Chain A
Amino acid sequence: MLALWNKVWRSIPRAAESLAALLRPSAYTCLQCGRKDHFAAASIPLLCRECRDSIPWIVRIHCAVCGRPDSCGDCARRHVAAFICNRSAVRYNDTIRQWLALYKYRGHEGLEPVLGDMLLTAYKRLLQEMDNRQERFRIDAVIPVPVSQQRLQERGFNQSERLAGYIAQHDAIPLLDILRRTRHSGKQSFKTRAERLTDSRGLFAAEETAALQLFDLNPGRRLRLLIVDDIYTTGSTVSACAEAIREELKKHGSAIPAEIYSITLARS
């Protein structure tokens, strides 16, 4: 296990470099801290060195289920997992909270490539990890966690769908936007843990017609689906999404066993 993580760890600098490649030296405005001393018309994503160094990468995973870097009570308590495991790129600390707020609430979509790149790091690690366990590990489809219609109208985009797009594009995997929110739940951040857990039960459902795309996939012995979200907190959102997908598969009497994984940008 340790050897595996060493290997994974070694891959991180490379990911950071690809990030760096996007982010040429800072004669430009840093996308993140937005210092404008050097007025630049650059539209490619740029971070200054300090912002890059402040990314709290998760380098060592403690809980094999949820990908948390510390020990974890949630997963031990849970009986039936609707999904196999979650992996996250970074810890959800103040820095990441700010970045995500800037992206989601402020609508700084220019940050997207940076976040997408960070998410890809977690995805590549998941592949590597799974490759070691089983042969020919491949994800058949990426499924973003949906936002409510109201949120979509305010924001203009669904961050999970956008981020999922980076994975879909990277490996040419279909992106299936098949889930819908059954009700508009309030802001997650205002709720207690227990509230979140009960609230998200039955919060998602697959959209009938869109979900048919699931059956157009051409999986191997098993169907491997990847749920993508921005933040993993209690796992209730991912669980609810996974359940909704399983429900839909069951409804259509699908015979192929499904494995559901999850990737999020941040783990809180």
Chain B
Amino acid sequence: MRVALYVVLLSAGSKAMWSIAPEVDQAYWLDAQYRGEAERIFRQQPSPLAEGLLLWPELLPLGIAAAVAGQWPAGDNEPPDEAAVRAALERLVSDAWVADAGGGAAAQRAPVARAELVRGASERGVDREDARALAARARRAAALLQGRALLGSEALALLAAADAAGPAAGAAQAPWRAAAPALQLAALLGQLRLGGAVAPQPQPRLLRWPLAQRAGSRRLLRCQRCGSGEARMRRTPCAICGRMCNYCEACLTMGRSRECGLLILGMPAHRAAPLQQAAPASGSCSERLDRWQLSPAQAAAAAAALQYIEGGYPTKQKSFWGRLCKSLWGAGERRSAAPDTLDSARRQFLLWAVTGAGKTEMIFPLLEACLERGGRALVATPRRDVVLELDPRIRRAFPRAKVVTLYGGSSQRWESGEITLATTHQLFRFREAYDLVVIDELDAYPYHNDPMLHYAAYHVCASGGCTILLSATPPAELRRAADQRRLAHVRVPVRFHRYPLPVPVRIRIPAVMQLLQLSKLPRRLVQPLKQSIDRGAQLFMFVQQIRHVGPLVQRLRSAFPHISIDGTSSKDPERSEKVVRFRERSIRLLVTTTILERGVTVPRSDVFILDADGRLFDEASLVQMAGRAGRSKEDPAGRVYFCAPAYSRSQQSAIRQIRGMNKLAQRSGYLLPKGMQPAKLPIEK
């Protein structure tokens, strides 16, 4: 979009600003009555008016106007000299155009317009009623946008949705023209932040002036919504602002974040009482956990997390996540996307729970503690189906709380509640909004190696809030931090049914590629397959390549003609139906890729991982796949096989990790006593 640029001449100093509704700025700065009304409605102290405004006579692309405002010299608190201000403004605008064009030839293209000086309020004066009504709308908009980070169009949709639910129901969605004055006024009063969705990282104030002197030095852009840097920017000719303009490719699925588009940041959500300072909730820790009927391991972990949230740890420790964010953004860029100043106020806690530990139950007491203090909680998980599955469980556990469920296409998109359940991508729409943030499966796609989602997860937590990271397979970096006690954490080494995790057994067979060339499947593979089939198990068979699924299904069908065998992958439109049929046992053996490595839990299942030495199966994914076996109480000792020609490092570490957890469970006394474990696997015909 294009915005108005102006310089405010104050009694001491001057500053450049841009506006999406310049008539509001003019009244705000020059009309005492208008200012009075606005400040009264926002309950703010009166602040000084301006001596005059120097208006740039034409609208400028947001990127250009923001660059000028950002580079305006801090000044010396002297009464500004109009001629000097005028000269500085004209030079900065011209420099911004030059810098935009990459210097050189385009210099002549800079508009040679002259700024216009406005001294007094407009002659008609401002209608008190209008001023009051606008201020009221601004206040409401600011309240609705609290804790949000929205693109212009999204903010519009949110305000429209709120209007539709409120008194003005039935009104058509207000056009941008109608919403802009209220947003601009709220921004002037410091109750909103308006900025380019893609913009240069802010520079330290001291550096601004020298930088401004150097025309042509383009600062590095960053998507202000997802934190992606130059590498994810795409520069295209833009009909909206009439110049080459960058947009962010990384967060495109959430609506386009672009240089000439607005990102509207609401004020951080404020809560009644900080979590760690609030009076302790009624009852002792164990009493509070009782109602959730947790297993001993679950209860111990929940208690540790609770203690951490409520301030058992010093808050001074340098945030691990802050540093992680920093390291992910690399050393090339001067300023970290995760400012250090906030780190001490945002704390992270890793809840490392093995597959099948029952992690959802463990977060209930944490959510409860947050709600008891009037806080707001967020549970984020990578997949939409998990969100949909969690939704009824959370609503049942917290019948009196307002629960909002967010995913692509969710009907509650613009609502806010005490507990928010969301897919990870929805996090981009929030900024410093939650006191308790639970990030589920932070190592899974799409978080996996995606700095953008780490950025989102980091910024969604309010200052003073706490983030709980949930994972069965935390990435190496987190594990190292936990080992070195840089990251507070607790391990849940046992499943809810208190049996040990099945330890994978190695089978040396050729790679799938060769396997498909052989006339017969090797006995070493057929034997255990037959055993599993005979014991009545459901068989997961994981392969690396989608193209291996079909041929392998054919081979297996001819080897085991009496059972039903099928295959699926991310490209299979019937995937969910096949998973249902697998669950219902009408498919007995399912050949699949990592697409089913998580989330799908089928009772009485055995797991065969082919090409276990392959590049695509890392330690985490092996542990996750192995975690499909033995999930039910009725059949807790499922079987897991790593089938490969070689014994890779990933397989070694996966087995070591599983053994380690079992040992820890044993030591902690979490396992059921030996006598209670079934000596033999039940045989079913």
Q: Which residues of B contact A110 (CB under 8 A)?
A: 234, 249
- Tell me whether B104 is interfacial, beta carbon within 8 Å: no
Tell yes or no: B555 within 8 A of A by CB: no
Stretch at the interface among A36-44, A194-202, A250-258: A36-44
Complex interface: chain B residues within 8 A of A107 (CB): 247, 252, 256, 258
Assess whether B252 is in contact with A41, with CB atoms less than 8 Å apart: no
Within 8 A of A (CB), among B215-240: 231-232, 234, 236-240
Nearest-Cβ distance from residue A180 to partner chain B, whole angstroms:
14
Distance between A52 CB and nearest chain B CB, rounded to angstroms: 13
Whole-angstrom distance between the alpha carbons of A183 and B380 in the complex?
45
Interchain Cβ contacts under 8 Å between A and B, 14 examples: A34-B253, A36-B446, A39-B449, A39-B450, A43-B234, A106-B253, A106-B256, A108-B249, A109-B234, A109-B236, A110-B234, A153-B239, A156-B236, A157-B237
A153 & B240 in contact (Cβ 8 Å cutoff) = yes
Which among A34, A37, A152, A153 is the interface contact of B448 at CB below 8 angstroms? A37
- Identify 6 new A-B residue pairs, CB closer than 8 A, beyond the known A39-B449, A108-B249, A152-B239: A36-B446, A37-B616, A43-B231, A106-B253, A109-B234, A157-B239
Check B236–A157 contact: CB distance below 8 A.
Answer: yes
Closest 6 CB pairs of A and B: A41-B231, A107-B256, A156-B240, A156-B238, A152-B239, A39-B449
Of the residues B232, B239, B450, contact of A156 by C-beta under 8 Å: B239
Report A2-48 residues with CB < 8 Å from chain B CB: 34, 36-37, 39, 41, 43
Which residues in A have some Cβ–Cβ distance to B below 8 Å? 34, 36-37, 39, 41, 43, 50, 106-110, 152-153, 155-158
**CB neighbours of A153 from chain B (8 A):** 239-240
Q: Which residues of chain A come closer than 8 Å to B256, judged between CB atoms?
A: 106-107
Residue numbers in A under 8 Å from B253 (CB-CB): 34, 106
Q: In the complex, what's the smallest C-beta–C-beta distance from A117 to chain B, in angstroms?
A: 17
Asked if B571 is at the interface of the complex by the 8 Å CB criterion, the answer is yes
Complex Cα–Cα for A217 and B258 (A):
37
A195 to chain B: closest CB distance in Å? 23
Q: How far is the CB of B250 from chain A (nearest CB, A)?
A: 9
Residues 234-263 of B contacting A (Cβ, < 8 Å) = 234, 236-240, 245, 247, 249, 252-253, 256, 258
Tell me the bound Cα distance from A212 to B666 in angstroms.
86
Q: Collect the chain B residues with CB atoms within 8 Å of residue A106's CB.
A: 252-253, 256
A43 to B233 CA separation, bound complex (whole angstroms): 8
B647 in the interface, Cβ–Cβ < 8 Å?
no
Secondary structure type dominating chain A contacts: loop
* In the assembled complex, B209 has its CB within 8 A of some CB on chain A: no
What chain B residues lie within 8 Å of A43 (beta carbons)?
Answer: 231, 234, 249
Interface string of B627-655 (1 = CB under 8 A from A): 00000000000000000000000000000
A interface footprint on B438-468 (CB within 8 Å = 1, 0 otherwise): 0000000110111000000000000000000
Q: Give every chain A residue within 8 A of B252 (Cβ-Cβ).
A: 106-108
Nearest CB in chain A to that of B233: its residue: A43
Chain B min CB distance to A98 (Å): 13
Task: Determine the distance from Cα of A207 to Cα of B240 in the docked complex, in whole angstroms.
Answer: 20
Q: Once bound together, how far apart are the Cα atoms of A152 and B238, in whole Å?
A: 9
Q: Which A residues touch B448, using CB under 8 A?
A: 37
Q: Give B594's nearest chain A residue, CB to CB.
A: A37
How many Å lie between the Cα of A39 and that of B236 in the bound state?
A: 23
Across-interface contacts of B231 in A (CB, < 8 A): 41, 43
Q: B446: which A residues are within 8 A, CB to CB?
A: 36
Q: Which residues from A are CB-within-8-Å of B240? A: 153, 156
Partner of B571, one of A36, A50, A158: A50
- Given A107-B247, A108-B252, A41–B234 Cβ distance below 8 Å? no
Given known pairs A41-B232, A43-B231, A107-B256, the reply for A36 and B450 (CB within 8 Å) is yes
Considering the chains assembled together, what is the distance between the CA atoms of A110 and B445 in angstroms? 22
Closest partner residue, chain A, to B241 (CB atom): A156
Q: Shortest CB–CB separation between residue A74 and chain B, in angstroms?
A: 31
A109→B246 CA distance, assembly (Å) = 11
Query: Which residue of chain B has its CB nearest to the CB of A107?
Result: B256
A142 to B253, CA, bound (A): 32
The complex places the Cα of A80 from the Cα of B448 at a distance, in Å, of: 59
Q: Is the CB of B234 within 8 A of A158?
A: no
Q: Which of A37, A39, A109, A152 contacts B247 (CB 8 A)?
A: A109
Q: How far is the CB of A184 from chain B (nearest CB, A)?
A: 14
CB distance from A171 to the nearest CB of B (A): 21
Closest to B546 in A: A50
The residues of A that contact B232 with a CB separation of less than 8 Å are: 41
| CB atoms of A37 and B445 under 8 A apart | yes
A4–chain B nearest beta-carbon distance, Å: 35
Set of chain B residues within 8 Å of A156, measured between Cβ atoms: 236, 238-240, 245, 258
- Checking B238, B247, B445, B616 against A36 with a beta-carbon cut-off of 8 angstroms, the contacting residue is B445
Minimum CB–CB distance from B85 to chain A (whole Å) comes to: 33
Q: How far is the CB of B460 from chain A (nearest CB, A)?
A: 20
Task: Look across to chain A and name the residue whose beta carbon is closest to the beta carbon of B238.
Answer: A156
Chain A nearest Cβ from B232, distance in angstroms:
7
Greatest chain A CB density within 10 A among B236, B448, B450, B546 is at: B236
Q: What 0/1 pattern do residues 478 to 489 of B give for CB contact below 8 A with A? A: 000000000000
Smallest CB–CB gap between B248 and chain A, Å?
10
In the bound complex, residues from chain A placing their C-beta under 8 Å from that of B237 are: 157
Contact residues in B for A108 (Cβ distance below 8 Å): 249, 252
Q: Which residue of A lies closest to B245 (CB)?
A: A156
Q: Closest chain B residue to A102 by CB distance?
A: B252
> Which A residues lie within 8 Å of B238 (CB)?
156-157
Contacts of B234 in A (CB 8 A): 43, 109-110
| Distance A136 CA – B238 CA, assembled complex (angstroms) | 37
Chain A residues positioned under 8 Å from B245 (CB to CB): 156
Give Cα distance in the complex from A110 to B256, angstroms.
12
Q: What residue of chain B has the Cβ atom nearest to residue A149's Cβ?
A: B239
Min CB distance, B126 to chain A, in Å?
30
Whole-angstrom distance between the Cβ of B23 and the nearest chain A Cβ: 21
Tell me, in angstroms, the Cα distance from A184 to B231 when the chains sit together.
37
Between A106, A107, A152, A156, the greatest number of chain B beta carbons within 10 A of the residue's beta carbon is seen for A156
**Distance, CA A218 to CA B299, complexed state (A):** 84
- Could you tell me the distance between the alpha carbons of A160 and B242 in the complex, rounded to whole angstroms? 18
Which residues on the A side are within 8 Å of B449 (C-beta)?
36-37, 39
Report the separation of the CA atoms of residues A41 and B232 in the bound assembly, to the nearest whole angstrom.
Answer: 6
Q: B571's closest neighbor in chain A, by CB?
A: A50
When chains A and B are docked, how far (Å) is the Cα of A156 from the Cα of B571?
33
Whole-angstrom distance between the Cβ of B249 and the nearest chain A Cβ: 6
